[in-house]
Each structure stands twice: as C-alpha cells, then as structure tokens.
Amino acid sequence: MNYLVEVKNLKKNYSSKEAVKDVSFNIKENEILGLLGPNGSGKTTTIGMLLGLLKPSGGEIKIDNMIFEKDRIEILNKINFISPYIELPKKLTVKQNLTVYGKLYDIKNLKERIDYLTEKLRLKELLNRITGELSSGQKNRASLAKALINNPKVLFLDEPTASLDPEIGDFVRSFLENYKKENKISILLASHNMSEVNRLCKSVLMMKNGAIIDKGSPQFLIEKHGRKNLEEVFLKLSRSENEFN
Ligand code: ADP
Ligand code: MG
C-alpha cells in the first residue's frame, strides 16, 4: 500500500497541556480522510504539525516517504493547506496574492495555473479586488485557489467550509469532489460539517481529548454505535465522559 502521509505516535504538549497524545494514522493516495472531533480535541494542532508549523513533542511524520528534518523544502513543495493559522495577505488583490504564492512555489506556467483555478473557483471577476474586502465565501475560494496553486499531492483542510452559507459550502464540496477525481489528490479534512464528511470521506478519524478514539467509514461508525447518522455518532462522542464504549 502506498501511503502519502504516515503519522506514528504523534504528540504535542503545550507546557503541561497534552493537546495531542500518541496519534497514529495513514492517508492513502487519492483518499479524503475526515478528521472529526469537538472543539479542543487537537485537530488543528495535528494539522499544524503535519504542515511543519508546529514542532511535535514526540512521534514521527512522513510525507511521501520523507521527513521534515531532512526534506523540508521538498515536502513543502508537495503539500498545501487552508488553516486558521494563516490568512492570505489582506492588502493584496486576489491576483497579486496568487501570483506571489505561485512565485514562492516557483510554478511554471503560472498564468495558466491561475487562469485554470480562478475559472474553476469562480474567481475571475474578483481577481483585481482587495483580498481583505472580500466576503467570507469569496475569501474562502481565494484561499482554496492559493492552496492548489502548486498542484499539491496532499492537501490539509482545517474546517474549510466553517463560515460559508449552504450554497457556497455546497459549491466548495462539489469543487473538491471534482478536483480530487481529476487530480488524484489526497486530502485530510477537519470539519464540523457531518454531511460534508459523509459525502466526501470514505474513512473518518474520531478525535477527542487529543486522541483518536474511533475510526472507519461513516457507515461503519453509524452501525457500530447504533445511531442513525454521523451527526448522532458525533454527539455521542462529544457528550460521553471519556472514551467511546
Ligand atoms: P481543535 O482544532 O480540535 O479545536 P486544537 O488543536 O486547536 O483543537 O486544540 C487542542 C488543545 O490544545 C485545546 O485544549 C487548546 O486549548 C490547546 N491549545 C491549542 N493551541 C495552544 C497553544 N498555542 N498554547 C496552549 N494550548 C493550546
Ligand atoms: Mg481547530
């Protein structure tokens, strides 16, 4: 099996707080893996480590068989993200932002890449607008264009549709579905939107208090926990005192 992302016994402590405790999982080629869990369960911290923004307190991360300590630049060229840690510079236009990021990644045929992404993401009319003045739905699509500018093999999405109205959320989900079909990209998707996870993810990790407490396909989890849908599984998880049982 070819795994693009391999995470083993990953840990992160913030002084005395164990934000991520001994987390292990893999992401296959062309897989969208869902990451579910209540606020504070460690999703963003996990993704921060996968992006090389946070230094793990323990464990190992491999991306495309490489490790950050040795192959940081090569890894960063193969991945991209939407993360609450980093917003697009507000004062630049959308076009300037995409151009700057494209140049940072040294993208060949940058004009064609920007044309392609802005067409698919309905950003053509917004290219000359100041990024900070866009609506949240428009900003989100601009962030997605930035996240795909380097044709990443692995995409890390930390609640990408959290602030979107249903119509734009649906547009983004359809976009991701189609983009993945055409580009065979692997995605880790942290989300609170259960229908989104149900629709996009064949497998899901359930996280709570820094640990993965269950995993499987949405259907497997629904049946295992005797619930009607993923939302109810999530509520059971959130409300239970400690671990699932
Ligand atoms: P999630 O994304 O699942 O909501 P986070 O990864 O943001 O969870 O947070 C996990 C835990 O780590 C929470 O208890 C949070 O308060 C704590 N935490 C996150 N960032 C920091 C930080 N920079 N310093 C101290 N504690 C943090
Ligand atoms: Mg988070």
Q: What is the pLDDT of residues 55-89, one digit of tens each?
A: 999 999 999 999 999 999 999 999 999 987 788 99
Which tokens is 15 given? 């002084």
25 and 133 share one domain: no
Identify the three-state secondary structure at position 97.
Answer: helix
Q: What angle do CA 205, 201, 38 make, to 5 degrees?
A: 40
109 and 163 share one domain: no
**Of all atoms in ligand 1, which is nearest to the CA of residue 45?**
6
pLDDT at 243 over 80: no
pLDDT at 108 over 60: yes
User: In angstroms, rounded to a whole number, what is the distance separating the alpha carbons of residues 123 and 145?
Assistant: 9
Instruction: Choose the residue to mutate in 11, 13, 17 for probing ligand 1, maximizing ligand atoms within 8 Å of C-beta.
Output: 17
More confident: 234 or 244: 234
pLDDT of residue 107: 96
pLDDT of residue 212: 97
Residue 60's domain comprises 3-78+153-239
55 and 128 share one domain: no
Q: What is the pTM of this model?
A: 0.94
User: Model confidence over 41-56: pLDDT tens digits?
Assistant: 999 999 999 999 999 9
For the chain, the domain total comes to 2
Angle between helices 94-104 and 136-148 (to 10 degrees): 20
pLDDT at 221 over 90: yes
User: In angstroms, rounded to a whole number, what is the distance separating the alpha carbons of residues 140 and 83?
Assistant: 11
User: CB-based contacts of 61: which residues, under 8 Å, 6+ apart?
Assistant: 5, 6, 7, 8, 10, 49, 50, 67, 68
Count other Cβ atoms within 10 Å, centred on residue 22. 14
- Residue where one domain finishes, among candidates 125, 151, 177: 151
Task: Provide the pLDDT confidence category of residue 245 given band limits of 50, 70 and 90.
Answer: very low
Count other Cβ atoms within 10 Å, centred on residue 235. 14
25 and 67 share one domain: yes
Count other Cβ atoms within 10 Å, centred on residue 127. 18
- Residue where one domain finishes, among candidates 151, 178, 203: 151
Say which CATH number the domain at 195 has: 3.40.50.300
User: Does any domain span residue 83?
Assistant: no
210 and 111 share one domain: no
Instruction: Choose the residue to mutate in 44, 45, 192 for probing ligand 1, maximizing ligand atoms within 8 Å of C-beta.
Output: 45
pLDDT at 6 over 60: yes
Long-range contacts of 132-135 (CB under 8 A, 24+ apart): 132/90, 132/91, 134/94
Which tokens is 231 given? 């939302």
Which tokens is 35 given? 């990451």
49 and 104 share one domain: no
Question: Within 13 Å of residue 54, how many CA atoms lie on the same side as its CB?
Answer: 23
- Overall average pLDDT of the 3-22 stretch: 96
157 and 234 share one domain: yes
- Ligand 1 contacts (CB < 6 A) are 14, 17, 19, 37, 39-45
